[in-house]
Amino acid sequence: MNSQYKIGDISRLFNLSSEMIRYYEKMGIIDPIRDEKNGYRYYSIFDIYILLECLQYQNLGMKIKEIPNFINFNYREKLQNQLHIFQRRLNKEIDYKVMLKKRVTELAMQLEVADLNLSNYWVKKINKKYAFDFVDGIGDDYDKVNTSEDNIRFLLNDKYINFIDSYVCFNKDKDEWYFAIDEEYFNGLSISYKKKYTIIPAHYCLCTVIEMGPLGQFSHECYEAAVMYAQDKGYHVQLPIRGIIRGRGYEGDHFKRYLEIQIPIIKNSQIA
**Same domain as 21, residue 94:** no
**Same domain as 230, residue 155:** yes
Residue 159 is which amino acid?
Answer: K
**Same domain as 227, residue 214:** yes
244, part of any domain: yes
**Same domain as 176, residue 186:** yes
**Same domain as 103, residue 140:** no
Hey, how many other C-beta atoms are within 10 angstroms of the C-beta on 92?
Answer: 11
**Same domain as 215, residue 96:** no
**Same domain as 39, residue 55:** yes
Q: How many domains, the chain?
A: 3
pLDDT band at residue 270 using 50, 70 and 90 as cut-offs:
low
CA distance 86 to 84: 5
Predicted confidence at residue 222, as pLDDT, reads: 87
Task: Tell me the DSSP string of 108-121.
Answer: HHHHHHTTTTBT--
**Same domain as 96, residue 67:** no
Per-residue pLDDT reduced to its tens digit, 162-192: 999 999 999 989 999 999 999 999 999 998 8
Which residue segment(s) compose the domain that 84 sits in? 75-112
> Of 58, 93, 112, which residue is a domain's last?
112
pLDDT band at residue 206 using 50, 70 and 90 as cut-offs:
very high
1, part of any domain: no
**Same domain as 90, residue 22:** no
Nearest-5° Cα angle at 246, 181 to 136: 65
Compute the CA torsion angle 230, 231, 233, 239 (nearest 10 deg): 40
2, part of any domain: no
264, part of any domain: yes
Bridge partners of 177, per DSSP, are 135, 168
Region 84-97: mean pLDDT is 94
CA distance 207 to 128: 16
Per-residue pLDDT reduced to its tens digit, 211-265: 998 888 899 988 899 999 999 999 999 999 999 999 999 988 889 999 999 999 9
Q: Residue 107 pLDDT > 60, yes or no?
A: yes
CA distance 165 to 146: 17
Q: Which of 9-13, 78-82, 166-170, 191-195 has the least mean pLDDT?
A: 191-195
Backbone angle region of 180, left / alpha / beta, with phi > 0 → left and psi within -120 to 50 → alpha:
beta
CATH label of the domain that carries residue 250? 3.20.80.10
Predicted confidence at residue 75, as pLDDT, reads: 82
CATH label of the domain that carries residue 66? 1.10.1660.10
Please name which of 87, 83, 57 lies closest in space to residue 72, comparing C-alpha atoms.
57
